[in-house]
Amino acid sequence: MSEVRTPTFGAIIIGDEILSGKRMDKHFTWLAGVMAQRGLRLSWAEYLGDDRARLASVFRRTRESGDVVFSFGGIGNTPDDHTRQAAAEAFDVPLTLHPDAEREIRARFAAEEVTPQRLLLGTFPAGSAIIPNPFNRIPGFMMHEHYFVPGFPQMAHPMLEWALDTYYSSYFNRKPDVDRAILLTGEGAYESALLDLMERIVASYPDLRLFSLPSLTDAGVRRHLELGVAGPAARVEQALQEMIAEVDRRNLAWRYRD
């Protein structure tokens, strides 16, 4: 039997305050790290403002792609929160008070504090399921392998770790990818001079990811070119040795990256 393909994972980070620079994003680096710990990786990420029409368009596109999507922010009940409404529009369903979310909200607040405004926090696209929130019990929601959580890291991060561990553990560390690289220095160690080699490696190893990263000093002086590949260990080693053989043929100075 053929091996089940690992899903493609993406992230959507929402908030005008992030795009304006008023707040620093604390989600992308965290998510990439917790996924790497589990042998997974992000394939893409997008930053979006609090624009309902744009959000709906993006969610519609990502649903059609079949990707697993982690969405941060915009699920509150204030007028500048549009994520719940945009998701309902993209998934072509109405918003409705989710019974499990209502139970969590009522468990969180005293009876006299459960206002219609607070219940809006549990109003999600019809057919969704909740994501438990260990911080304050106000849940997020999930639908079509899209996971919607608040913008606050102390809430969002444990919620998405729960989603990863609950729904995607079968993909954890099945065949962890590795990356290996060499550092080239001296004359000829330029990306433009090595394009033909890079193109040959990409064509010969379509299952690997090639990367080339020039490094400069603070004064703008070229330090080295990091050239490498990432993917399954055996294939990475094969491709790297092919690159080294060609670099040696061209008499370029190089060393293994630590």
Mind listing the pLDDT tens digit for each residue in 149-158? 999 999 999 9
Residue 114 scores a pLDDT above 70: yes
CATH class of 179-256: alpha beta
Give this prediction's pTM.
Answer: 0.82
pLDDT at res. 5: 81
CATH of 9-171, one of 3.30.1360.230, 3.40.980.10, 2.120.10.30, 3.40.50.360: 3.40.980.10
State the SS3 of 76-137: CCCCCCCHHHHHHHHHCCCEEECHHHHHHHHHHCCHHHCCHHHHHHHEEECCCEEECCCCCC
pLDDT at res. 221: 79
Mind listing the pLDDT tens digit for each residue in 216-234? 888 777 889 999 999 888 9
Mind listing the pLDDT tens digit for each residue in 15-65? 999 999 999 999 999 999 999 999 899 999 999 999 999 999 999 999 999
Query: Domain boundaries in the chain?
Result: 9-171, 179-256
3-state secondary structure of 53: helix
